[in-house]
Amino acid sequence: GTIWYVELTSSKEEKRCAELAQYLKQQLGETSDLGTLGDFLTIMGEYDKAENYYRILLKDLKLPDVHTDRAMIYNRIGVIRREKNDTAAAIDYYGSAISAAPRDSGIIKMAAYNRQIAESDLKLAPKIFLGNRLASSDIITKPLVATHELTEAIVENNKGHIAYLHKTYDSLNIAVEHYKTSHKLFEQSESKRLKEMSMVKNNLGAVEYARRNYSKAKEHFDEAKSLIKEVNPTHPWLAYYFENSVCAELKVPLSEASLPPPNKKQKTEHINE
């Protein structure tokens, strides 16, 4: 069989590279599997390189139609395609992961959950024209998907996202509780997921923006920027957080006290898993 040996080196920014190596060791663990390099590239936001690596694996390994590694690769390509805003393709890859997974594999539940998230993305996609959002009020938020396992922290963030979308007084309160729980779980995990934590912070900012607490929203967006920069100073998510921060900053000069909060009379039931 084919033996893969990959060594990553860099000749500059030694301190930064050492910090990054330690972070990635926490994220990926001491041991590695076939997807480790792809995971590394995906965390860094190097989506094209990650997808190319997974496609090489599919071509060279010649796996049977039903195999855990094939299902793993399809699921991870689905994650990448979603990040590249090719949501329809992501849904197809998640479906392929489910079909390729052995019946007793946890990948089935994970890929099915990811597919559900992608299908929701497709329905709620923001209106884009010539690469730009049509309304500055369209704050970018994201539910999280699972690459290795479907954790409680991921589920809590996504419950918050569902509640946030209703944008009523009660639902925004519910969203905050879920987001705070998610952030705490990520923070307490053995490997602090800085990338995921950055999105939770961003999503908290979106809630404050919907509440018209623009200064507080900007604080959250800026915290999200700081966290993702620790992962990669040029990570694609940085652009989302920057846009959101600018939107909030433009609103700050307005008299926030004069703006009524979302209607307290509107009720939203607690979002169940």
Render pLDDT for 42-92 as a digit per residue (tens, 0 to 9). Answer: 999 999 999 999 999 999 999 999 999 999 999 999 999 999 999 999 999
pLDDT(250) > 80 = yes
* pLDDT at residue 35 in the model: 81
pTM above 0.85, yes or no: no
Residue 195 β-bridge partners: none
Q: What are phi and psi for residue 224, nearest 5 degrees?
A: -60, -40
On the 0-12 / 13-18 / 19+ scale of CB atoms within 10 A, 148 is middle
Tokens of 224: 């999200």
Q: Is 129 helix (H, G, I), strand (E, B) or coil?
A: strand
CB-CB contact of 238 with 225 (8 Å): yes
d(C-alpha 129, C-alpha 240), whole Å: 16
Tokens of 2: 């084919």
pLDDT(151) > 70 = yes
* pLDDT at residue 246 in the model: 95
* pLDDT at residue 261 in the model: 58
Helix axes 194-210, 169-188, angle to 10 degrees: 160
Could you tell me what percent of the chain has a pLDDT over 70?
A: 75
CB-CB contact of 141 with 160 (8 Å): no
Where do the domains of the chain lie, and which CATH numbers do they carry?
14-123 (1.25.40.10), 128-258 (1.25.40.10)
Residue whose entry in the numeric block shows the structure tokens 């996609």: 125
* pLDDT at residue 271 in the model: 40
d(C-alpha 259, C-alpha 273), whole Å: 33
CA dihedral sign of residues 85, 86, 88, 93: negative
Q: Is 264 helix (H, G, I), strand (E, B) or coil?
A: coil
CB-CB contact of 95 with 81 (8 Å): no
Could you tell me what percent of the chain has a pLDDT over 90?
A: 67
